[in-house]
Structure 1
Amino acid sequence: MDEVRIEAVDLAEYAAAALDVQAVAFGLGPEEVALRLQIVQRHADIPGVRAFGALHDGVLVGFGYGMPNDRTHWWSTVIEPYLAANGHAAWLDQAFSVTELHVHPRYQGIGLGRALITTLCAASALPRSILSAVDRETPARALYRSLGYRDLARRVMFPNTLLPYAVMGAPLPLAATRPGGRPNGVPRPAPRAPFGPP
């Protein structure tokens, strides 16, 4: 079995495959997948967007993408009041926003999320990074903390979502990519039951 490779991908070209991974990871239905696909396709045209995929035998099994944050974008307008209330509104400027980061459940737990986000953020020359994550203790939140992210705002409610989110921020480069940080290698995945495209 070949190793999983982390490589730069064209976001527009891989949008559908990325949404397949996100659908399985988040349990999304067809309508939500269609809506999110339109958003990803729009993001693909934004200047400065960067995307990386985790590819195993040519199949996308994880992905992450982001872009320089823009206060006029929808996400920023939603989180700005929460950040301002906590004295962190300045984090919206000169920040690389990690827009999406997902790994197929069958490939979780082997370091792909860490490899994707560190590679993604290493490609940015900006001094800091921000992201949002479901506001509960999950492996993703633990990963972000291990990379130097800290909570900037909690109980953030996005329109049409039921779960509260946390907004997190970290200085760049991330802790794992600084001298003496944790290595960023991607191991060979353990044998798993065969499955169709993620």
Structure 2
Amino acid sequence: MPDDSEVTVGPLDLAARVDEALAVQAIAFGLSAEEVGVRRHIVLRHLSYPGARALGATTADGRLAGFVYGMPNDRAHWWSTVVEPYLRNNATDHWLDDTFVITELHVHPAFQNRGVGRALITTITDTADQPRSILSAIDTESPARALYRALGYVDLARQVHFPSAARRYAVMGAPLPLLRRDPADPR
């Protein structure tokens, strides 16, 4: 994927473009073909949940450079059942209620560090009816975690273990709307 294309953020029919989105995720996140196959079923199931929606960052020729999807959180969903004990231990489990969860956000490496991830997450959360957002990210210092912090996300729980993941995660939450970067700030 060339790195000189501009992208446009807008609605994405994720079910129709799930394989293309997962190809972006596989490159950005380092997934194996087996992991992609498992995630395909998960994404399609998530899209059936009430309020689930997706946005894509597409190039001028229609290729997907990044995507985000999320939904209103439901404590009965698998993700919530895993993170709830960690949040409860930190007295932050109320973040699971009346919250828009960012389920996945991935940008192809050729388009990273250009504001694409920021545009995707702020655009999708700007349309949320909930007063806050929650997400999980690998619990290490990374450009993704720095972006989330710049948008107002704070750590609610760390060292969260998902049964299917080798790495530990942090659960982060932010009030909505997300913070916007001051144009005078060079970061």
Range class of TM-score, shorter chain: over 0.9
Q: Tell me, in whole angstroms, the C-alpha distance in 2 between the residues paired with 1:11 and 1:62.
A: 11
Q: Runs ≥4 in structure 1, deviation > 4 angstroms? A: none
Higher RCO (CA-CA < 8 Å; seq separation 6+): 1
Which residue pairs with 1:36 in the alignment?
Answer: 39
Q: Tell me, in whole angstroms, the C-alpha distance in 2 between the residues paired with 1:160 and 1:35.
A: 11
Match of 1:12, SS state, is coil
**For 1:116, which of 107, 120, 125 is the aligned residue?**
120
Which residue pairs with 1:140 in the alignment?
Answer: 144
Match of 2:50, SS state, is coil
Q: How many residues align?
A: 179
Q: Tell me, in whole angstroms, the C-alpha distance in 2 between the residues paired with 1:139 and 1:11.
A: 25
Q: Tell me, in whole angstroms, the C-alpha distance in 2 between the residues paired with 1:71 and 1:160.
A: 19
Which residue pairs with 1:15 in the alignment?
Answer: 18
Which residue pairs with 2:53 in the alignment?
Answer: 50
CA RMSD across the alignment:
1.1
Q: Tell me, in whole angstroms, the C-alpha distance in 2 between the residues paired with 1:20 and 1:3.
A: 19
Q: Tell me, in whole angstroms, the C-alpha distance in 1 between the residues paired with 2:176 and 2:17.
A: 26
What are the residue-to-residue correspondences of 1:51-130 with 2, within 5 Å? Answer: 51-56=54-59, 57-130=61-134
Give the counterpart letter for 1:33 in structure 2. Answer: V
1:141-169: CA deviations, max 9, x gaps? 00000000000000000002111100000
Match of 2:16, SS state, is helix
Offset at 1:2?
5.4
Larger CA deviation: 1-10 vs 23-32: 1-10
Alpha-carbon spacing, 1:32–1:71, altered in 2? closer, same or farther (3 Å): same
Match of 2:165, SS state, is coil
